[in-house]
Amino acid sequence: MHSISFSTAIISGRNHYTSDLSPPSLRFCGLRRATLRFSRASRSEPRRGSLSSKLHFKKLSASLSDNRSAAKAFDYDLVIIGAGVGGHGAALHAVEKVHKLLIDSTGVNSVSVSSVIGRRADQQLQGLKTAIIEGDVIGGTCVNRGCVPSKALLAVSRRMRELQNEHHLKALGLQVSAAGYDRQGVADHANNLALKIRNNLTNSMKAIGVDILTGVGTILGPQKVKYGKVGASENVITAKNIIIATGSVPFVPKGIEVDGADSSFTSSSFYFYSLYTKLRKTVITSDHALKLEVVPDWVAIVGSGYIGLEFSDVYTALGSEVTFIEALDQLMPGFDPEISKLAQRVLINPRKIDYHTGVFATKITPAKNGKPVTIELIDAKTKEPKDTLEVDAALIATGRAPFTKGLGLENINVATERGFIPVDERMRVIDAEGNLVPHLYCIGDANGKMMLAHAASAQGISVVEQVSGKDHVLNHLSVPAACFTHPEISMVGLTEPQAKEKAEKQGFEISIAKTSFKANTKALAENEGEGLAKLIYRPDNGEILGVHIFGMHAADLIHEASNAIALGTRVQDIKYAVHAHPTLSEVLDELFKSAKVSLLSSYSYCANQQQIDY
Ligand SMILES: Cc1cc2nc3c(=O)[nH]c(=O)nc-3n(C[C@H](O)[C@H](O)[C@H](O)COP(=O)(O)OP(=O)(O)OC[C@H]3O[C@@H](n4cnc5c(N)ncnc54)[C@H](O)[C@@H]3O)c2cc1C
Ligand SMILES: NC(=O)c1ccc[n+]([C@@H]2O[C@H](COP(=O)([O-])OP(=O)(O)OC[C@H]3O[C@@H](n4cnc5c(N)ncnc54)[C@H](O)[C@@H]3O)[C@@H](O)[C@H]2O)c1
């Protein structure tokens, strides 16, 4: 059904990790895109899948058959190396653009695009041919070892935490007997979700005609890539444009020994086997931790960033005690300081968590021969030995390293910077001499601009816009981020210190507005009044510089702010937007309403409104 002439290839080839690709949502899965439907503008238009619409497409396809692109000179117009969410997002967009074009030019509505037009018409219309190369499993980090399984574990931890909180339940008038969990059941939930999303992702690409090529992708020279299993016969393909989307792997600092699952055990007794199984992996990264093979009684988490925080939420809800080890002077150093402080008060202090800040974990030795995991700490500033900890397990959450092994960057004179592939604001790769490498782009974790799933995907979409002839620059300051603890933390744009620095450099003032969840009816009805929303803005013109939220469903609430920044909407405009009552969104409504923008800027809004109304 889908013999394609329009193809997008993704090469994904990291064979030392065994997880699948999946997008955090259907948007990444592309299932919806595969069956795009368009509302009928008038009754006279052809009906979905009707014979007349099919004939119409056939005619259109035939009439455009000579409209072939440069694909003739290359095997593909677009080859993507790496089928994580970045590569997947780029591939879907390449195909979606064609669908839009086709619908626009035919005026046909309510048509299941994939079932009617197939790939042939796509190729003829767009002139693109796209493929994706994956060396491991489709979905990359996010689907197999990241966003997806971690959010499944966090869904469990939220419920466990709530069911264990007698005070909270009592306030709602609820009585629940002791909550418990089945570790394997929880692990299965995470694994099954990853599997499901990976399959969705794979099917979505197949359905829309992306060529999925299997094996490690290596760039041989300009516009030339080989792919295939190492040692097996190699396939060489040419592409007008290449996108590198090879992602990242856990970064483990020197001196930290991560143990594997390979040792054999000598005891024949089942008891000792069980004990061994329980202890076999004691110094782990998130790749291992997501399998939830064990819930350690006491776990040290090295690094209090996103991964550390989310896992502290999971582990403490499941009964572990946690010790944070953080190199910087405060926990959660990546967040706005005021939000970190509040988060510490709610997410750390009342839980079974202690912490050491301003220290490096220099040496970590896995549990062996009945001895626990040992962690040697040194003072981050003086480098003097500080302490030695003994714990049941250690999770290393000290950031991620870009993955570019086997990519053949040397063949195109590209030198990495701290492992990352250097790119400009359009994701165009920069070579060792500082020149742009023609037709070569790098998106997602591998370029290090913003290590988030949706950022990778957005960068991919931006590149597809460019290779399709439309200039596009992604505003990274409009890309939201969220940490899915309970309550959640979310943010977009600048933190207060970053905004102050920018204001000083550029000579403007900043103002801060804040609202509390305590005044929000919905939050109080849920007995979840702990929370804060903070707006950093320019009082002279109403520009939104940053928004930070800590509280229930903060990850969902942030989009009003991120969309406003992306669209250039100012405080004086958005403050008149109407929010349903009672909703958590009213926290943001109050936030924007409480901001004070100079009268002159506010006047321009009123003038615009009058014009529109009139
Ligand atoms: C525990 C955890 C939780 C996370 N949670 C979130 C979250 O909630 N929200 C969020 O936004 N982000 C989250 N992230 C970050 C997110 O997973 C990454 O930012 C995202 O996966 C990056 O996507 P990518 O496409 O750049 O790379 P990846 O997803 O890493 O995909 C790269 C793909 O390329 C393949 N590949 C590599 N080299 C080659 C080659 N030479 N040839 C062929 N194929 C190759 C790999 O096998 C892989 O499939 C989380 C990360 C972790 C570790
Ligand atoms: N919800 C999400 O969006 C989400 C969830 C998980 C991961 N991620 C992404 O994955 C990436 C990796 O997450 P992460 O939490 O590993 O990294 P991170 O950069 O967020 O945090 C790493 C922390 O480890 C500390 N650190 C580094 N080396 C140390 C050492 N030797 N001893 C003690 N502390 C040390 C750092 O100071 C920092 O606070 C992030 O870039 C993040 O964007 C996102």
pLDDT in tens, 1-41: 232 233 345 554 432 222 222 222 333 333 333 322 222 23
DSSP 415-459: --BTTBPPB-TT-EEE-TTSPEEEEEEE-GGGG-S---HHHHHHH
Q: Is the pTM of this model over 0.80?
A: yes
The ipTM value here is 0.99
Per-residue pLDDT of 132-152, as tens digits, reads 999 999 999 999 999 999 999
pLDDT of residue 556: 98
Residues 6+ apart with CB under 8 A from 167: none
Which pLDDT does position 107 carry in this prediction?
43
Residue 243 has a pLDDT of: 98
- Range scoring the smallest mean pLDDT among 99-103, 196-200, 251-255, 299-303: 99-103
Active-site positions read: 581
- Report the candidate in 171, 172, 72, 82 with the shortest Cα–Cα distance to residue 124: 72
Check pLDDT > 90 for residue 263.
no
Which ligand lies nearest the alpha carbon of 142?
1
Q: Is the per-residue pLDDT at 171 higher than 90?
A: yes
Q: Whose CA is nearest to atom 17 of ligand 1?
A: 142
Q: Regarding predicted confidence, which is higher, 428 or 68?
A: 428
> For residues 368 and 506, what is the distance between their CA atoms, to the nearest angstrom?
57
Q: Please compute the mean of the pLDDT values over residues 563-584 and round it to a whole number.
A: 97
Cβ 28 under 6 angstroms from ligand 1:
no
Do 288 and 281 form a contact (C-beta atoms < 8 A)? yes
Nearest CA to ligand 2 atom 14: 399
pLDDT value at 208 more than 70? yes
Residue 178 is predicted with a pLDDT of 87
Q: Which helix (H) or strand (E) holds 355?
A: strand 353-357
- Specify the pLDDT at position 150: 98
User: Does the beta carbon of 484 sit less than 6 angstroms from any atom of ligand 2?
Assistant: yes
pLDDT at 108 over 60: no
pLDDT band at 270 (very low <50, low <70, confident <90, very high): very low
Q: What is the pLDDT of residues 496-549, one digit of tens each?
A: 999 999 999 999 999 999 999 999 999 999 999 999 999 999 999 999 999 999
pLDDT, one tens digit per residue, over 50-72 is 333 333 333 333 333 322 344 46
Distance CA 174, CA 166 (A): 9
Q: Residue 606: its pLDDT value, please?
A: 45
The yes-or-no verdict on residue 167 having pLDDT over 80 is: yes
Average model confidence (pLDDT) for the chain?
83
| CB 19 less than 6 A from any atom of ligand 1 | no
Q: Give the position, in ligand 2's atom list, of the atom nearest the Cα of 256.
A: 31
- Report pLDDT for 128: 76
